[in-house]
Structure 1
Amino acid sequence: MGLGHIHILQGGFIDFMRPGSPLVDYDKGTAAFWGTGDEAFEVTTIEDTARMTARVALDRDVKSGKFAFAGDRISLNRSLDIAENLCGRPFSRQSLGSEADLCAAMDSSDPQTRLFYAYQLYMMNGQTALDKLQNDRYPDIELTRFEDFVQALLG
């Protein structure tokens, strides 16, 4: 049929790291995560993902295959450093264990928790890390960095 296919890859959603997230409690100044917290991963806002996806869908010059973009590449520790700076107070940080511990927790979890843990696993272990980002393909779309996202939320 001559149909092309585009795989939109944007990392995790920054929105999972907003106040009210199960990862970071901005009110209590606490964070619980798997791994060391130094594992870097890509994140993008839901809004930016929608804008880029719409633009790619309308762009007849995009080649079939992978189209990757990301608002930021950050670690949980770096995100907490930013949150501490913006909130003006320290956050306590607790590692829940290693990648093996996370996999064991996944095996004994209900389906919804297992899905959330799988999301964290792939962010932590780099298996789904993005390369060859095409952030600059549409210069009029400025992707949101983590610091700007949290600053806007905390007002």
Structure 2
Amino acid sequence: MTSTVLVAGATGDLGHRIARELLHHDVRLRVLTRPGGTATGALDGDPRVEVVTAAYSDHAALTAAASGADVVVSAVSGTRPVVVDAQRALLAAAVAAGVGRFVPSDYSADYRRTAPGTNRNFELRREFAAALDAAPLRATSVLNGMFTELLTGQAPMVLFGRRRVLFWSSADQVLDFTTKDDVARVTARVALDPAAPRVVEVAGDRVTARDVARTLTELTGTPFRLQWAGTAGTLSLAGRVGRLLAKDREETFPAWQGMQYFADMFSGRAQLHHVDGDRYGPHRWTSVRDVLAQHLGRGGA
């Protein structure tokens, strides 16, 4: 039976990938955009895609956008006004429209086991999760660790120019990584799975800092050395101080947020413990080695 899926945030990077994955299935795809929002790119002109416009402050318009949908998939990104406020408005509209299922914009490491007040990214997800769990519909969160692509840019772990791989506390702490395309693939299948549990955990690869250094050494033929950068506790403290001193507390991707994220990963608090990579059948997951090789122009493994 054809499902109708409403995707919020489809004009963003991950949201667009999710929408593209959904179109590989028998769906009627409805894309939510804000008034005056950007175009939907490659989705434009596809007869299976309906673009609906509504402000998150307009409950009636949001409810109309969600009306008839079987599931709402959120891929919005930002700080409190988006992750909490906009998603609450979207959730209220989904409930009012009688939508049966909701996939929130989590796509992260396991925020449920981290200490409140230590990670803004996780705090916002935990706050919205409380509202979602109280709503009269089924919900499924996708947890995937960190996006693998961040290792080649924003994540403060690999220093390519200095041939160093940073670690905190232990170079043997297991870290969960999943590429955006793999997350999008799983999210599309979750959206079409009425039996999906409250949380689906996936990890395209599970590696340590030692593994990353070894892989880079093999790919480049030049030694990449491990460099201890302190403990996870000191990194967490640095993130907390950075947040207090920040001039713009609402910046979406500040350096201190990255510190908080890695502190929870290297402490083991945010590690995934119920990974189910085969839930939706066999799949060739993109590995950390694949991503690093592509970044270095070496080709995949």
- TM-score tier by shorter-chain length is 0.7 to 0.9
Tell me, in whole angstroms, the C-alpha distance in 1 between the residues paired with 2:241 and 2:196: 42
Do residues 76 (structure 1) and 218 (structure 2) align?
no
Candidates 31, 40, 46, aligned match of 2:180: 46
Match of 1:130 in 2: 272
Q: How far off its partner does 1:43 sit?
A: 0.7
Contact kept? 1:19, 1:26, Cα under 8 Å:
no
Structure of greater Rg: 2
Tell me, in whole angstroms, the C-alpha distance in 2 between the residues paired with 1:151 and 1:103: 30
Question: What is the aligned length?
Answer: 154
Match of 2:18 in 1: none
Match of 2:122 in 1: none
Partner deviation per Cα, 1:37-76 (whole Å, 9 max, x = no partner) = 221111101111111111111122323x111111111111
Contact kept? 2:177, 2:206, Cα under 8 Å:
yes
Q: Residue 138 of structure 1: SS of its match in structure 2?
A: coil
Candidates 140, 148, 151, aligned match of 2:290: 148
Candidates 212, 226, 240, aligned match of 1:107: 240
Q: How far off its partner does 1:33 sit?
A: 3.1
Structure 1 runs not aligned, ≥5 long: none
Candidates 263, 270, 294, aligned match of 1:121: 263
- TM-score after normalising by structure 2: 0.47
Match of 1:55 in 2: 189
Contact kept? 2:233, 2:263, Cα under 8 Å:
no
Contact kept? 2:166, 2:209, Cα under 8 Å:
no
Tell me, in whole angstroms, the C-alpha distance in 1 between the residues paired with 2:266 and 2:280: 29
Q: How far off its partner does 1:89 sit?
A: 0.7
Q: Partner amino acid for 1:98?
A: T
Q: Relative contact order: is structure 1 or structure 2 higher (C-alpha 8 Å, sep ≥ 6)? A: 1
Candidates 202, 209, 221, aligned match of 1:88: 221
21 and 113 in structure 1: CA distance in 2 versus 1, 3 angstrom threshold = closer
Contact kept? 2:235, 2:259, Cα under 8 Å:
yes
Tell me, in whole angstroms, the C-alpha distance in 1 between the residues paired with 2:153 and 2:146: 16
Match of 1:23 in 2: 157
Contact kept? 2:202, 2:276, Cα under 8 Å:
yes
Greater shift in the superposed pair: 104-113 or 77-86: 104-113
Give me the identity figure in percent. Answer: 28
Match of 1:6 in 2: 140
Contact kept? 2:200, 2:276, Cα under 8 Å:
yes
Tell me, in whole angstroms, the C-alpha distance in 2 between the residues paired with 1:62 and 1:103: 34
- TM-score after normalising by structure 1: 0.87
Q: How far off its partner does 1:31 sit?
A: 2.6
Partner deviation per Cα, 1:74-103 (whole Å, 9 max, x = no partner) = 111111111111111111332111122212
Q: Partner amino acid for 1:32?
A: L
RMSD: 2.0
Greater shift in the superposed pair: 34-43 or 134-143: 134-143
Tell me, in whole angstroms, the C-alpha distance in 2 between the residues paired with 1:18 and 1:139: 29
Tell me, in whole angstroms, the C-alpha distance in 2 between the residues paired with 1:48 and 1:99: 28
